[in-house]
Structure 1
Amino acid sequence: MKSFFVFAMVLLFVSGCGFNEPTQEGSFQQDENGTKLMTNANQPVREKKDIDYSTQNPNVDITNSPLNTREDQQQIEQVLAMEKGYWLGSMWTNGKDAWVTVYTSNDLSKRDLKKQEQKLHDKMQAALPRFDLRVKLKRKN
């Protein structure tokens, strides 16, 4: 029984190396004889093209997609234009969540900064109700 087990293990080990046939997809990196790998000189020349992600798949219209946040940023900037001394730093969206960083040149205490941050959050939330906004107000001189 023990010798049969050893024989079976040796058979599995040896046969595992014998069934490794190259596929057509795996052999494209080799030359015509299959003995040498391609070098950099044999690689096809790639044309430099700018990728336009808005037309990547012509079958899908993504103009009103959550990937396009231009209009959302414009609405945030319109809210900030009503307030003096504030400007948009960055805006990130992920699904229904949005993170907005706003900078101010006003000299505010920490308490006033938190109050103004909450005031801006309420105004921005009214302007963009589909997002769960997280507003961060920072001082910038």
Structure 2
Amino acid sequence: MRKFIVPSLLLTMLFAGGCQGKNDAANYDLRKDRSAPNEMSNKYKKPLVGQDVQNQNPNFLNLEGTSTRGTGGGQDTGIDVRKAKKVIRDTHEFRTDSVWINGDRMWVNVYKNGMLNDQQREDAEARLHKKLVQALPRYNIEVRVQEDRR
């Protein structure tokens, strides 16, 4: 029993000592920190934490202008999808089912009126593929022609 009295008193004093003092962590403001002015001051025009995260770590990717909404200089895949649909519509031979892009690949599904045998389907896919590659050469385009029996 006596063995445990001294360590328990030391632990109690240690816990009680850790609970004293004011809590500065909740009120800490990096902008007002003057403990290391050479490291975190605005003298060197370094951005503060939270203002510009990408400049804090040079290993972060620059994601500016990569939106698909056309803001910035990134590639806008929505424009390319509309261009592919316009090329399909201008043929007056096919009706667009779906067009989607993933990276450098574009998948195009279209309908053609009437019954098609295998050779006719391959010829139609080749014709449409050629027109799409001329309009959008940056993509590897996969074309699939289906029968529309209406």
Q: How high is the TM-score relative to the length of structure 2?
A: 0.48
Q: Following superposition of structure 1 onto structure 2, how do residues 1-141 of structure 1 map, counting pairs within 5 Å?
A: 60-61=64-65, 62=67, 63=70, 65-66=74-75, 68-141=76-149
| TM-fit CA distance, 1:65 | 3.7
Cα RMSD after superposing both structures: 1.9
Which of 1 and 2 has higher RCO (CA within 8 Å, sep 6+)?
A: 1
What letter corresponds to residue 134 of structure 2 in structure 1? A
What letter corresponds to residue 76 of structure 1 in structure 2? A
Aligned residues: 82
| TM-fit CA distance, 1:114 | 0.7
Asked whether the equivalents of residues 115 and 148 of structure 2 are also in contact (C-alpha less than 8 Å), the reply is no
What letter corresponds to residue 129 of structure 2 in structure 1? H
In terms of Rg, which structure is larger? Answer: 2
Distance 1:119 1:96 in 2: 21
Distance 1:127 1:87 in 2: 17
Distance 1:75 1:106 in 2: 26
Gaps of 5+ in 2: 1-62
| TM-fit CA distance, 1:72 | 1.2
Asked whether the equivalents of residues 96 and 110 of structure 2 are also in contact (C-alpha less than 8 Å), the reply is yes
Distance 1:73 1:87 in 2: 14
| TM-fit CA distance, 1:98 | 1.2
What letter corresponds to residue 105 of structure 1 in structure 2? N
Distance 1:100 1:77 in 2: 9
Gaps of 5+ in 1: 1-58
